Amino acid sequence: TNHGSQGFRKVAHPSPMPDPERIELIRNPGFGRAFSDHMVTITWTADRGWHEMTIGPRGPLSLSPAAAVLHYAQEIFEGLKAYRTSSGEITLFRPDMNARRFALSAERLAMPALPDNLFIESVEALTSIDRAWIPDGEGSLYLRPFMIATEPFLGVRPAAEYLYVVIASAVGPYFSGGKSTITVWVSEDYTRAAKGGTGAAKCGGNYAASLTAQAVASAEGCDQVLFLDSAEHRWIEELGGMNIFLVFEDGSLQTPPIGGTILPGITRDSLIRLAREEGRVVREEPYAFDQLKADVASGRLREAFACGTAAVISPIGKLKTTDGPIVIGDGNAGEVSLALKRKLVGIQRGDVPDSFGWLHKI
Ligand code: PLP
Ligand code: COI
């Protein structure tokens, strides 16, 4: 088993995108469409463990139509960003946390654990070779490590062969146009995860299962869907692809606790630490949707925001339900949300001191 000390086998790229074309493409990249020149692949087999660490041209994968991932969805992924700081350095934000979560997702999906150091080396290697793909200004390079079960076998059991891949995409804001607030549909029909299920793992199946609810949200003119818990349909959990925070009149914050049904967001964890460092009270406690309605009516709830690697901090202006809209605060981005966003982005961009040691220089 090769654990990275020997580095990656490099396959030369015959035709990387010419500079003018790339520069034009990443000027206004949107989200998740502008893919960089290279990719990393590492293979796992039961007899050899992780081997064939390769970095080369990004291109189609060749898979057996019987590959287990295509039938039983044994797939996990991560998302993290590489930034160019104001002084021109290139950094990753807390990649050790993504490595840990990837290993936990692998465990939940009965997949082999990729050693944390190999995960980190793989994202470092891709960031480094495709550094020209990091947009200037507010953009970043979104790294997407993922693992699929490649063994051709239709029996239902953990596969004996896997492929780990990292691709990268130049990105701007997740919500088109970088809108200042988002609107969120509260799903009455669908839930995202149940106790004992895969809600805490970052597996493709969770997102496939959220798409119908997301389609309803879109049809209702909303940007995202908010899921309530599956047991009582009472407690706020998270959005389809981001965690949620609420901000109260007394300056305190609340966010649903980690308990197996929501994704333990790295942005969530970072914001809890930053807010506490500022002296704010942050409660990681269940919050009922009925309570939200009461707190909006009484004026106690002032702000709400979604957070995640892709979403950064996206203030929520309005929730919509079948009973009609619920406007949060005055419907605009709240002060606390924006101040936390400035601080987080400032750290990521090297403009605010990194007192927690979160930046990982490349
Ligand atoms: N919740 C879900 C369902 C997500 O897909 C994401 C995005 O990764 C998050 C929360 C936020 O996690 P993070 O802050 O680690 O990106
Ligand atoms: C991320 O924020 O990294 C995600 O995976 C969420 C998805 C909506 C892009």
ipTM of the complex: 0.98
Q: Which long-range contacts (CB under 8 A, 24 or more apart) does 56-65 make?
A: 56/10, 56/11, 56/12, 56/13, 57/11, 57/13, 57/14, 57/16, 58/167, 61/163, 61/165, 63/148, 63/150, 64/150, 64/152, 65/152
- What's the confidence (pLDDT) of residue 136? 86
Choice between 87 and 122, residue whose per-residue pLDDT is larger = 122
State the chain's mean pLDDT as an integer. Answer: 96
Which among 202, 32, 15, 185 has a CA at the least distance from the CA of 109? 202
CA-to-CA distance for 197 and 199, rounded, in angstroms? 6
Mean pLDDT (whole number) for 248-252: 98
Ligand 2, atom 8, lies closest to the CA of 241
CA-to-CA distance for 237 and 75, rounded, in angstroms? 23
The token pair at 196 is: 């004992």
Which among 74, 210, 65, 83 has a CA at the least distance from the CA of 141? 83
Ligand 1, atom 10, lies closest to the CA of 242
Q: Which atom of ligand 1 is nearest to the CA of 80?
A: 16
Res. 309: pLDDT tops 50: yes
pLDDT tens digits for range 147-192: 999 999 999 999 999 999 999 999 999 998 778 999 999 998 899 9
CA-to-CA distance for 43 and 71, rounded, in angstroms? 20
Alpha-carbon separation of residue 21 from 18, 24, 36, 59, 133 (angstroms): 6, 5, 12, 18, 11
Mean pLDDT (whole number) for 203-219: 97
CA-to-CA distance for 25 and 101, rounded, in angstroms? 31
Whether 141 contacts 133, CB under 8 Å: yes
Alpha-carbon separation of residue 129 from 16, 18, 38, 85, 282 (angstroms): 11, 15, 8, 17, 40
Q: Which of 80, 98, 192, 263 to mutate to test the pocket of ligand 1 (most atoms within 8 A of CB)?
A: 263
Ligand 2, atom 3, lies closest to the CA of 79
Neighbouring-strand partners of residue 49: 45
How does residue 6 score in pLDDT terms, banded at 50, 70 and 90?
low
How does residue 3 score in pLDDT terms, banded at 50, 70 and 90?
very low
Whether 314 contacts 334, CB under 8 Å: no
How does residue 4 score in pLDDT terms, banded at 50, 70 and 90?
very low
Question: 187 by DSSP, 3-state: which?
Answer: coil
Q: Ligand 1 pocket: which residues have CB below 6 Å? A: 79, 238, 241-243, 263, 265-268, 308-309
307 CA distance to ligand 2 centroid (A)?
10
- Which range among 84-88, 238-242, 277-281, 321-325 shows the weakest confidence by mean pLDDT? 84-88
- The number of the ligand nearest the C-alpha atom of 143 reads 2
- What's the confidence (pLDDT) of residue 301? 98
How does residue 86 score in pLDDT terms, banded at 50, 70 and 90?
confident
- What's the confidence (pLDDT) of residue 1? 36
- The number of the ligand nearest the C-alpha atom of 199 reads 1
Q: Ligand 2 pocket: which residues have CB below 6 Å? A: 79, 241, 308-310
pTM above 0.80, yes or no: yes
Which among 247, 212, 223 has a CA at the least distance from the CA of 335? 247
Length of the chain measured in residues: 362
pLDDT tens digits for range 106-161: 999 999 999 999 999 999 999 999 999 999 888 999 999 999 999 999 999 999 99
Mean pLDDT (whole number) for 253-265: 97
The token pair at 126 is: 């891709």
pLDDT tens digits for range 20-38: 999 999 999 999 999 999 9
